[in-house]
Amino acid sequence: MPFYQRLGDVPRKRHIQFRDNGTLLTEEVMGLEGFSGNESILYHLTSPCRVTKVDEFEPIERDEWVPDGHQHRHFKTMAGIEPEGDAIGGRRLLMWNDDVEISLCRPDEEMDYFFRNGEGDEVIFVHEGSGTLETIFGDVPYKDGDYIVVPRGTTYRFRPEGEQRYLVFESPGLIEIPERYRNEYGQLLEHAPYYHRDIHPPTELHTHRERGEFRVKVRIRGGYQAYELDYHPFDVVGWDGYVYPWTFSIHDFEPITGRIHMPPPSHQTFEGRNFVICSFCPRKLDFDPLAIPIPYHHSNLNSEEMIYYVSGNFGSRRGIEVGSVTLHPSGIPHGPHPGLAEKSIGQTETHELAVMCDTFHPLRLTKLAKELDDGEYAYSWLEERAPAGDADEDPAGVTSHF
């Protein structure tokens, strides 16, 4: 998606004969919006339509929790999510709407199948762990702090190394680089918080020629359809185009600071259909002599704010810890805890690292959210009910957005 890439062998022109040891290869155009959007062209040893068995279909069932009260919430996920399943089956849905699903995942099993999201784009934020996302476009190495961006239609398999912890976004819409960061030709502008060099496409293409039994699960029509193949699905000898998986490290996001407080759009990293994903990174804070370095109270009347706290000292956000998720739903105001605006004055930097997703339509919650909900957060603006904090010990831990 970010720019033109080519890996492996492709013929001199599109749509002409291209052979491997005399055998005509199968050309596949994988594209968006009919034939008008971005596309990649892949050259397969075997027709990608070939299946030996259409296996079971497993519908997605969401275990919804409809709470009694409309209120701010705090979910503690660090200890609350046990390792379970693989990188797909182990995804545990926390909240969702028609535009985005937000899941937590701590896989501890290898995938013994391949996966393709046939109806959505994915962004997987790697909180902990490293490994390789093996894909039909080639290997995509990943490490903690990476956003792995996987466009729909990409067949892949996680090969994790060590313990893993992900925050997963899946969307039936496109997940893209914000348009305002790009010029009319697609190049990232000078004021964008990241550049093409920060974007890492697949590194190595491995062409598999083996026959045997291979299983592919495709997310489609609200469920998972399994297929059996008699060839390895990574049978591509080369591809080129604009559609492929890539990574971007949150540590490569160049924060934008101002003399007075900069609003969340300055942290935007991705744009989705009716939602955005933002990165809050360590940075210098607002430098006007009268600046208040933490945010003003705000009512985002028609958006919901979900924040996942990655690292840093969140002592000034009392009760918040690494792995915490806060949800500030639409229609009610939120802001710094009592006394913290005063305490923040004079602070010059923050060490926070957090991922935020703002949605423009209400989010629904799952029973997992009910399990992890601390039940107290809505009252944490009352001095007498606020949890103890240690902001005084490390003021650099101030959380710059609530």
Rule CB under 5 A: which residues touch Fe ion? Answer: 305
Closest CA to 180 of 171, 169, 191: 191
Q: Which is nearer to Fe ion, 170 or 305 (CB)?
A: 305
Q: Residue 377 in contact with residue 74, Cβ under 8 Å?
A: yes
Q: How far is the CB of 307 from Fe ion (least distance, A)?
A: 8
**Among residues 139 and 305, whose Cβ is nearest to Fe ion?**
305
Question: How far apart are CB 363 and Fe ion at their closest, in Å?
Answer: 14
> Containing H/E element for 81?
none
Q: How far is the CB of 255 from Fe ion (least distance, A)?
A: 17
Nearest 5°: phi and psi at 40?
-125, 155
121 vs 305, beta carbon nearer Fe ion: 305
Cβ proximity to Fe ion, 220 vs 256, nearer residue: 256
Q: Which is closer to Fe ion, CB of 41 or CB of 327?
A: 327
**In the complex, minimum distance from the CB of residue 253 to Fe ion, in angstroms, rounded to a whole number:** 18
Q: 237 or 356: whose CB is closer to Fe ion?
A: 356
State the Cα–Cα distance between residues 253 and 282, nearest whole angstrom: 10
Identity of the residue numbered 379: Y
Q: What is the chain's Cα-based Rg?
A: 23
- Nearest approach, Cβ of 201 to Fe ion (angstroms)? 33
State which residue has the least CB distance to Fe ion: 305
User: In the bound complex, what is the minimum distance in angstroms from residue 381's beta carbon to Fe ion?
Assistant: 13
Separation between Cα atoms, residue 194 and residue 383, nearest integer Å: 40
The greatest distance separating any two alpha carbons of the chain, rounded to the nearest whole angstrom, comes to 79
**Nearer to Fe ion among residue 305 and residue 373 (C-beta):** 305
Contact 63, 369 (CB under 8 A): no
Closest separation in Å from C-beta 193 to Fe ion: 19
Judged by DSSP in three states, 23 sits in: strand
CB closer to Fe ion out of 91 and 334: 334
**What is residue 182's DSSP assignment?**
B
> From CA 159, how far away is CA 136, in angstroms rounded?
14
Amino acid in the structure at residue 286: D
Nearest-approach distance from CB 248 to Fe ion, in angstroms: 23
Is the Cβ of residue 101 or residue 305 nearer to Fe ion in the bound state? 305
The DSSP secondary structure of 227-241, one letter per residue, reads EEEEE-S--EEEEEE
Query: What distance in Å separates the CA atoms of residue 96 and residue 378, rounded to the nearest whole number?
Result: 21
Q: Give me the numbers of helices (H) and strands (E) for the chain, helices first please.
A: 2, 28
Q: Is residue 148 within 8 Å of residue 167, measured between CB atoms?
A: no
Minimum CB–partner distance for residue 358 and Fe ion (Å): 8
Nearer to Fe ion, 198 or 305 (CB): 305
CA distance 177 to 270: 5
User: Min. distance of Cβ 306 from Fe ion in angstroms?
Assistant: 10
Residue 52 tokens, joined:
């030996």
Query: Cα-flanking dihedrals φ and ψ of residue 198, to 5°?
Result: -85, -5
| CA 107 vs CA 39, 70, 88, 345: distances in Å | 31, 32, 8, 42
